[in-house]
Chains A and B, each alone.
Chain A
Amino acid sequence: MKTSKIITTLLAGLPTTLTLLVAAFSLATLLGIGLAWLNLRANPLARGLARLYLGLVRGTPPLLMLLLAYYGLPVLLKTVGINIDHWTRLTFGILGLTIGWSAYLSEAFRSAYLAVDPGQLEAARASGISDRHAFWRIIVPQAALLALPNIENLLIGLTKATSLVYVIGLYDLYNQATNLSNQTAGVDQLKIFTILALGYWGLVLLIEAGFRQIKKRTAKRIA
Chain B
Amino acid sequence: MVLEVHNLHKQFKGKEILRGVDLTVGAGEVVVIIGPSGSGKTTLLRSLNFLEHADRGQLQLKDQQIDLAKPTKQQVQWVRRHTAMVFQNYNLFKNKTALQNIAEGLIYGQGMARQKAEGVARAALDKLGLADQADAYPAELSGGQQQRIGIARATVLHPEVILFDEPTSALDPELVGTVLNDMQALAKQGQPMVVVTHQMWFARNVASRVVFFADGRVVEEGAPADLFAHPKEERTRHFLNSLAENY
Q: Which residues of A contact B (CB under 8 A)?
A: 117, 119-120, 122-130, 133, 137-138, 141-142, 145, 220-223
Tell me if B93 is interfacial: C-beta within 8 Å of chain A.
yes
Determine the chain B residues whose CB is within 8 A of the CB of A142 once the complex forms. 94-95
The CA-CA distance from A120 to B89 in the complex, in Å, is 10
B5 lies within 8 A of chain A by Cβ: no
Least CB distance, A129 to chain B, in whole angstroms: 5
Pick the interface stretch among B56-64, B104-112, B193-201: B104-112
From the candidates B51, B96, B108, name the one contacting A126 in the complex (CB within 8 A): B51
Quick one: CB contact mask for B145-159 with A, threshold 8 Å, 1 for yes?
000001001100100
Q: Which of B92, B95, B139 contacts A123 (CB 8 A)?
A: B92
Q: Contact at A127–B157, with CB atoms within 8 Å?
A: yes
- What residues on B are CB-neighbors of A123 within 8 Å? 85, 87, 91-93, 150, 153
B positions within 8 Å CB-CB of A:
49-51, 77, 80-85, 87, 89, 91-96, 104-105, 108-110, 137, 139-140, 150, 153-154, 157, 163
Residue of A nearest to B137 (CB): A220
Q: Is the CB of A223 within 8 A of B94?
A: yes
Select from chain A the residue with minimum beta-carbon distance to B154.
A127
A126 touches B83 (CB 8 A): yes
Cα–Cα, bound, A38→B137 (Å): 32
| Chain A nearest Cβ from B216, distance in angstroms | 22
- Please state if A141 and B95 are interface contacts (CB–CB under 8 Å): yes
Which chain B residue has the least Cβ–Cβ distance from A121? B91
B211 CB to closest chain A CB, in angstroms? 21
Interchain CB contact under 8 A, A128 and B95: no
Q: A128-B81, A138-B93 are in contact. List 4 more A-B contacts (CB 8 A).
A: A117-B94, A122-B91, A125-B49, A125-B51
**Which residue of chain B lies nearest to A125 when distances are taken between CB atoms in the complex?**
B80
A141 to B93, CA, bound (A): 11
B84–A126 CB distance below 8 A: yes
Residues from chain A with a CB closer than 8 A to the CB of B154 are 127
Asked whether, in the complex, the Cβ of A129 is within 8 Å of the Cβ of B105, the reply is: yes
Which of the residues B77, B94, B108, B140 comes within 8 Å of A222, measured between beta carbons? B94
Task: Output the nearest chain B residue to A134 by Cβ-Cβ distance.
Answer: B108
Evaluate contact between B87 and A128: CB separation under 8 angstroms: no
26 A–B contacts, CB within 8 A, in A order:
A117-B91, A117-B94, A119-B87, A120-B91, A120-B93, A123-B85, A123-B153, A124-B93, A125-B50, A125-B80, A126-B49, A126-B51, A127-B84, A127-B105, A127-B109, A127-B154, A127-B157, A128-B80, A128-B81, A129-B105, A137-B108, A138-B93, A138-B96, A141-B95, A145-B95, A222-B139
- Please give me the residue from chain B that is nearest to A144 by CB atom: B95
Q: A220-B137, A221-B95 are in contact. Are A126 and B77 (CB under 8 A)?
A: no
With A119-B89, A137-B108 as given contacts, are A126 and B80 in contact (CB-CB < 8 Å)?
Answer: yes
Instruction: Please indicate which of the listed interface residues A117, A123, A221, A222 has the most CB atoms of chain B within 10 Å of its own CB.
Output: A123
Bound complex: CA of A128 vs CA of B105, how far in Å?
Answer: 7
- Give the nearest-CB partner of B156 in chain A: A127
| A128: chain B residues within 8 A (beta carbon) | 77, 80-82, 105, 108-110, 157
The reply to whether A222 and B95 form a contact with Cβ atoms under 8 Å apart is yes
CB distance from B4 to the nearest CB of A (A): 20
- CB neighbours of B105 from chain A (8 A): 124, 127-129
What chain B residues lie within 8 Å of A126 (beta carbons)?
49, 51, 80, 83-85, 163
Take A125-B51, A127-B84, A128-B80 as given contacts and tell me if A220 and B108 are in contact as well, using a CB distance cutoff of 8 Å.
no
Known: A125-B51, A128-B81, A130-B77. A138 touches B91 (CB 8 A): no
Check A129 against B140 for contact (C-beta < 8 Å). Answer: no
Cβ of B108: which chain A residues have Cβ within 8 Å of it?
Answer: 128-130, 133, 137
